[in-house]
Chains A and B, each alone.
Chain A
Amino acid sequence: MAPSGLRKANDPPLLILVSLADGPKHGHALAKDIEDFAGVKLGPGALYGAITRLVERGLIEPLGSDDRRRPYQITPPGSAALAGALADMRRVTRAGLARLGLDPA
């Protein structure tokens, strides 16, 4: 596995980074947001497994909170990893659409 853990579009780490790209969120807000934009329901176990890996790799970091619901934010390395993964996906998507004749560009 690549160290960033970003392999395919429905990977929990990638979905979490995309969700955090527009601002910090706590666990429940992340799960709701991911369900809204990707249609993927992440359970608490899967969500916190992915959060743990992303924190270990320094791609996201926790923010201080008095509440039990601790928010997380994306870090500069996290933004770089996300940008790299999305650029690769865009390249593959463009090639696939062009070969299917579905991409006007």
Chain B
Amino acid sequence: MKPTRLLRWYPRTWRERYGEELLALIQDTLDEGRPTWRLRLGVIWGGLGERVHQAVRAGKAAAKGASSGWLTAVIAGSTLANLPWNLKAPLPPARAWQKTAAFDALVGAFAVTGVVVLASGLVAAPAFIAFLREGGWPKIRRRVAWAAGATVAAGAGLAGLFLGQRSMSSAELSHSGTYGAGVVATTVAIVAASGLWASAATATAKHLKLATRARAAQPLLGAVTLTAALAIVPANLIWLAATESSLPWLVVGVANLVVLGFVSPRMIGRAVRLGRRLRAASGRMTVNPSAQRTHGRHRF
């Protein structure tokens, strides 16, 4: 079997990226007089393994996309669906503190999310400007255009909902099919915009030459953003519990908060350790081995 035919065992995308290199290596190895049957068997095995790996990776990417979309839908949907009622509902003084605390937490979570996303952009700004100056805009133009379009649609939806909830009472909102459809459509637009911006950011990041400090800051910024975004769900639930005088909603909200309180410090701690390792690696010879210890796990 000719070496070029061996490449057929690999997926097409892999062949396009690594095919020529692998052929050169096979040729070099054959020139050394290695047993060809073992080499060919190894290449075939590698090709089959690559096909399995790509299939598994595609499945994981689909699952990750679906879970991110679902999470965004829960956050956006719960906020949009509850906000008008929560704002309009009169509360007895005994539960007013609960409403105030949940509202403050909600505003705080949105503010922190916005500030951290902005900070992430500022940290990457010098590398992004350099990327644009080198003519990189055409590489990301379509993705950015789609994301901007979805953002405009989400903004229009939010404006429509705002006007609707100002002109209607709680009872009218409850019975308005148009308003309900608007909440669903706006939630879908927010999910689409989030997904498209994430896709555009991922595609752009592949081209950026980030400074070490900027690269080291990204894991922490990502963990704080996710924590703040996740905090929106329990804040909404506790607010809803105050408005509806509902013990079950309060229990679910507090349970969400407890889970977040357990998961978030671990997530942020891991991001801090990763940032330290990245900074240490920038000056390879100054790596502190004790800072590298992860008890058998090297998370990158």
Q: Quick one: CB contact mask for B289-300 with A, threshold 8 Å, 1 for yes?
A: 110111111111
Instruction: Tell whether, in the assembled complex, residue A31 and residue B29 are in contact, meaning their CB atoms are under 8 Å apart.
Output: yes
Given contacts A2-B299, A45-B46, A48-B46, A84 and B294 within 8 Å (CB-CB): yes
Q: Is the interface of B mostly helix, strand, loop or mixed?
A: helix
Residues of chain A lying within 8 A (CB to CB) of residue B49? 49
Q: Which residue from chain A places its CB closest to the CB of B215 in the assembled complex?
A: A76
Query: Secondary structure at chain A's binding surface: helix, strand, loop or mixed?
Result: helix
Which residues from chain B contact A3 at a C-beta distance below 8 Å?
298-300
Contact A45 B20 (CB under 8 A): no
Interface residues of B in 188-228 (CB under 8 A from A): 212, 215
User: Beyond A52-B50, A80-B278, is A44–B299 a contact (Cβ under 8 Å)?
Assistant: no
Which has the most chain B C-beta neighbours within 10 Å: A31, A67, A81, A83? A83
User: For the complex, is B43 an interface residue (Cβ under 8 Å from A)?
Assistant: yes
Give the size of the chain A interface in residues (CB under 8 angstroms): 38
Minimal Cβ-Cβ distance residue in B for A56? B57
Q: Could you tell me which A residues sit within 8 Å of B by CB distance?
A: 2-4, 6, 26-28, 31, 43-49, 51-53, 57-59, 67-70, 76-81, 83-85, 87-88, 90-91
**Can you list 6 pairs linking A and B with CB atoms under 8 Å apart?**
A2-B296, A45-B44, A57-B300, A80-B278, A87-B293, A90-B289
With A31-B29, A48-B21, A53-B53 given, name 7 new contacts (CB 8 A).
A2-B298, A3-B299, A44-B39, A44-B43, A58-B300, A77-B277, A84-B292
B interface list, Cβ under 8 A from A: 14, 18, 20-26, 28-29, 38-39, 42-47, 49-50, 53, 212, 215, 277-278, 280-282, 284, 287, 289-290, 292-300
